[in-house]
Amino acid sequence: MNCIVRKMELAEIEIAMHLAYKEGWNPGLNDGITFFNTDPQGFLLAEYKGRVVGTISAVNYGDGFGFIGFYIVDSDYRGTVVGTQLGMAALNYLKDLNIGIDGVVARVENYKRLGFKEAYKNIRFEGIGDKYILDPEVVPAKIIDFQEIADYDSRCFPVRREKFLKGWLEMINSHSYVFYDENRVKGYGVIRSCRKGYKIGPLFADDIHIAEQIYKALANKAADELIYFDTPEANLFAVDLAHKYEMKKVFETARMYTGEEPLIDLPKIFGVTSFELG
């Protein structure tokens, strides 16, 4: 068989969202537009006889870094050329960049053959939101200068991603908080509504105390609802925070890169932003 791989249009982003939902990935209700607008040229789909049979995203963040996600092939077409054609199209679009992925653990060896090297695992935890007394230093992100938040974010991500971040902080059905003390940002986090419950991401903080205060503010917005929280296994304090709030592990991914592992401040990363865009 020979499928057609082409650029996705904005109106088609919900196809990727639906496929992700069918796979159990539980995307956010409004993730699609924010993801797509980060790099509209990098969202691809595969068609066979007029039917969409697969998707992939290859986001070029600039400054030599890209990220691949939404790599989904319809179950009826797995084991065919669809997956290969999508993967090659994404890698070609991001050629010469250091490319990151959050790969399915069972397929790590396949990714290694494509040139990826494993950096660490990310663990998805599931818990229940609750009502907490908030620290007065935790304030809504909208009252803090965006550039201050973007500067903090840049320590926890391989490159500056202001276009994505602005959309993420302003996304409907989401809430963002900053820990602001001594006239500077010491952490921030976002929680958003998903097809099932809510997801926290990112949650970046100077230390576990600050991370916990931000977590409480976010969990307040999902009282008695399911919460999902993706933490780097390598940050033991992040894992401890999930355990403190009786969250249980539901699955994990392998964070991998084609180049050297980026110089990010991993001890500040308590919750990754997303498995789809890094």
Residues 99 and 202 in one domain: no
Q: Assess if residue 262 is contained within a domain.
A: no
> Mean pLDDT across the chain, nearest whole number?
96
Q: Rounded mean pLDDT of 248-273?
A: 97
Q: What is the pLDDT at residue 24?
A: 84
DSSP state of 42: G
Structural domains of the chain, count: 2
Instruction: Report the chain's terminal Cα–Cα distance, integer Å.
Output: 32
Residues 238 and 128 in one domain: yes
Q: What is the pLDDT at residue 58?
A: 98
Residues 202 and 248 in one domain: yes
Last residue within a domain, chosen from 105, 120, 135 = 120
Please state, in angstroms and rounded to a whole number, the distance separating the CA atoms of residues 278 and 273.
Answer: 6
Q: Assess if residue 168 is contained within a domain.
A: yes
> Is the model's pLDDT at 230 over the cut of 90?
yes
Residues 103 and 129 in one domain: no
Q: Assess if residue 278 is contained within a domain.
A: no
Report the sign of the C-alpha dihedral through residues 6, 12, 13, 18, in that order. Answer: negative
Last residue within a domain, chosen from 120, 142, 170 = 120
CATH number of 157's domain: 3.40.630.90
Angle at 149 between CA 144 and CA 151, to 5 degrees: 140
Q: What is the pLDDT at residue 259?
A: 98
Residues 163 and 221 in one domain: yes
Q: What is the pLDDT at residue 272?
A: 98
Residues 63 and 148 in one domain: no
Q: Rounded mean pLDDT of 235-246?
A: 98
Q: How confident is the model at residue 1 (pLDDT cuts 50, 70, 90)?
A: confident
Residues 71 and 155 in one domain: no
Q: What is the pLDDT at residue 23?
A: 86
Please state, in angstroms and rounded to a whole number, the distance separating the CA atoms of residues 171 and 149.
Answer: 16
Please state, in angstroms and rounded to a whole number, the distance separating the CA atoms of residues 18 and 123.
Answer: 23
Residues 93 and 20 in one domain: yes
Last residue within a domain, chosen from 101, 120, 139 = 120
pLDDT > 70 fraction of the chain, expressed in percent and rounded: 100
Please state, as a whole number, how many other Cβ atoms lie within 10 Å of the Cβ of residue 1: 10
Q: Rounded mean pLDDT of 266-276?
A: 97
pLDDT > 90 fraction of the chain, expressed in percent and rounded: 92
Q: What is the pLDDT at residue 212?
A: 99
Residues 174 and 230 in one domain: yes
Q: Encode pLDDT of 74-90 as tens digits.
A: 988 888 889 999 999 99
Q: What is the pLDDT at residue 191?
A: 99
Residue 209 has φ and ψ, to the nearest 5°, of: -60, -50
CATH number of 110's domain: 3.40.630.30
**Domain span at 141:** 124-252
**Residue from 44, 50, 49 nearest 1 by CA:** 49
**Residue from 57, 79, 61 nearest 70 by CA:** 57
Q: Assess if residue 263 is contained within a domain.
A: no
Q: What is the pLDDT at residue 2?
A: 81
Q: Is 123 left (phi over 0), alpha (psi -120 to 50) or beta?
A: beta
Residues 155 and 213 in one domain: yes
Q: What is the pLDDT at residue 53?
A: 94
Q: Encode pLDDT of 140-183 as tens digits.
A: 999 999 999 999 999 999 999 999 999 999 999 999 999 999 99
Residues 104 and 203 in one domain: no
Q: Assess if residue 219 is contained within a domain.
A: yes
